[in-house]
Structure 1
Amino acid sequence: MIALPSFYILTSNGESILPDTIQRQRAADQNRAILFYLDANLCLDIVNYFENKQAHPQSKTNVEILILFCQQYNIEVIPKFGSMELCKETFNKLNIPKYQDFVNKITYAFDTPFSETVKLNDRIFNYYVEVNDTDSMGFEGLFPLLLMSYVSLLKIYFLCKKNNPNRGSVLKNLKLFLHWCNKHLNTSMASEIQLAIRIFGGDSRFRKMIALDKKGDQLDVIFRTLWGSAWDLLHMRMVHFKAINTGIDQVVYFITQDANLYELFKTCQLQCALSISGQPITSFVSYDIEIQYKDVNMVKDMNDILATFTLERSHRNSIEPLDIKLLENLRTKLEYDIHMMF
C-alpha cells in the first residue's frame, strides 16, 4: 500500500490509495488504463517543483513519489483540468499561453526520467504538448457546469445566512434548497446536495467551502471561494462521469490536497450519472446521511425529503439544454441578495 501523506486520493467509490499490485493487475486484465487526475493545487506544486521554487519538504517528497510511481508503472496523468482552473483569464475564458506553459511543464516532469542530481529547470527544455482551440472550447464548455454549481453554492450560502445552520433548521433549509433546485434551477446537483446536507446540519468542517465565516466586507473573497468550490465539485463530477461512461475504458484516481473535499466524498459511492450531449450534468451519489445524523427520526425525515425530490425530478424533463441566461440571472439575483444581507 502506497500513500501520500499530504495528498488525498479519491475514486468514484470514495477514498483510496495509489493503486497497488492487485488493482493494477485488475485494470490490465480488463484492458483499462489507469489515469491520475490532478487538482489545481497539485498542478501548481508540480510547476513549482519544475521551476525549483521553495516548497514544503513533504510536498516536494510527495511530488517525487508520485512522479516515480507513474514512471515505474506507466500511468498517465491528466493535468489539463487542474491547469484550467489555475489559468483562467476570466471565469469563462482561458489564458492559453499560461495554460500551455503549465501543461508543458507538468507533462515534462512526468515524462522525464527522474534524477536526484539534475533539476528539471537545469535541463534544456524543448518540450511541447499541443494546446489549441479544442482546449479553449473545452474550457468554455465547462463554464455552464461551473456556473450551475456556483449558483447552487450561492443558494446554500444564502440559506445558511438566513437560517443559521444547525440540527434544528436542517430540514427547513434542505426543503428550501431542494425546492429551489427543482423549481428555479430545474436540475438536481448531487454533489452540492451532499455538501448542503453537511453544512445545514452544522458540520463545521465544511463551512470553509462556502466561506460562511467571512465578514460582509469580504464579499469578493466569499464569491471567489464559492467559485473555487465549484471547481472542486466539477473535478469530482468529471471523475464520476468517467467512471460510469461505458465508452471510457479508464480507471480514474483523483489526487487532491483539499481535506474538505476528501472528507465530503471519501465515503460516497457513485450510483449513476446523467449526461447531456456528452457533458456530465449530475452524478447521483450515496448521501451517507447515517454517518452524520445519528437520530433515526432525523435520518428518516431527510430520506423522505430526498425521495420526494427525486420523484419530482423524475416527472420533469431532465434532458434539457442548459439555459445560460437563466443561470446568469440566478447568479445576479443571489449575489445581490447576499450583498443586501450585510
Structure 2
Amino acid sequence: MIIEISIHDFYCQQHRLPLIDVRSPGEYEKGHLPGATNIALFSNEERAQVGTVYVQQSRDEAVELGYQFVTPKLDWFISESRKVAVNSPVAVHCWRGGMRSHAFAEHLHENGFDEVYVITGGYKAYRNYVLDFFAQPLQLRILGGFTGSGKTLLLKNLQQQGQQVVDLEGLAHHKGSAFGAIGESPQPTVEQFENNLFEAFRQLNLQQPIWLEDESHSIGKVKIPIPLFRQMRQQMVYFIQLSKEQRARHLVGQYTVCETPELAYAINGIAKRLGGQNVKLAHEYLGQQKFYEVALLALQYYDKAYLKGVQNRNPELVCMVPLPDMNHEDNAKTLITLVEKYERNKTHTV
C-alpha cells in the first residue's frame, strides 16, 4: 500500500524509515535530508527540458516527455531502491510531494514494495519544518574565547564528560576566520548546513542544556539560522581567558601542517586590518618558518576584533573564566562546575 505521511510523523517514528529522494542531482546537492539516498527520476538536463516544455507548451506534453525519459530507467529504479530498503518499508519524497514522488511510489508498489510512504509537501515541507525548529526556545550554553583558545577541543572534552554539544564549525567545515578553510573539506551549501545542523540538534535532549561555540552569523560561506543566532546572542557567554603566548603556540600546532602558500593567502585576507607593515613582517616570518611570530601578529588583529564584539554585548551576559593552561580535560571540569553553580544561583535569585 501507499501511505501519505507528514514530515513531522516521519521524524516521530520509533524506527526511521529508509528514505529515497527522487529529485534531480542538482536539487539534491543544493540541500537534502541527511541520510536520504538520491535516486533521481530525471537528470539535471532532463528536468530542465521537462520544465521548459511545461512552460512553453503544455502540462500534458511535459508529462509525455517525462515518461520518455523515465521508461528506460524503470528496472534501475527498482534495483537501486532495493539497495536502500531490503525487505522493509520505504519513504519517498520529491520537491512538493507531487507527481514525481507519487509516480515513483506507485512503481515501487507495483514491483514488490508492500509498504511505501510518500512525504506530503516533500522537501519544501521539510525545509519549513527545519526553520520552524530553530524558532523554538532552546537551552543554550555559549562558549567564548579569543582566537587560539582551543574552544573546539574544549567542547569535545565537555562532550566526553556528558555535556550536550553541537560543533558549529565542524558542521560548517570552517574554523570561522580568514584561516578557517585551511585543512577543511569544502563547505556545504547554506541550505545543507541548516539541514545538518537540524539533524545534530534532533539527536539531543532539548529539555537539557546544549553547548555551542560563540560565532558570528557567518561561518565562512554558511550562515547560522537567524532564530538560532538571536537566541545565541541572548544567552550567557562563558569567555575563557588564556595568555596570548599559549594561544599562539596552539595555533602553530594547528596550522603549520598546512602548505605555506595557504597561510600566505590567509594573511593577505586580513591585510587591511592587520596593517601594511605587519603584513610585510608576517610574510617575512612565514618565509623564515617563524610560525610562532606569525601567530602573535595575527592575534593582534583577532583579539581586537573579538574584544570589540564582546564589548558590544550586555556585560551581564559575559562571564570571564580565567584558565591556567590548555589542559582541556581539567578546563572542561572547571567550566561545568562554574556554569552549574551560576545556573543554580540564577534559579534561586529568580
Give TM-score scaled by structure 2 length: 0.25
Give TM-score scaled by structure 1 length: 0.25
- Structure showing greater radius of gyration is 2
Q: Which has the higher contact order (CA 8 A, sep 6+)?
A: 1
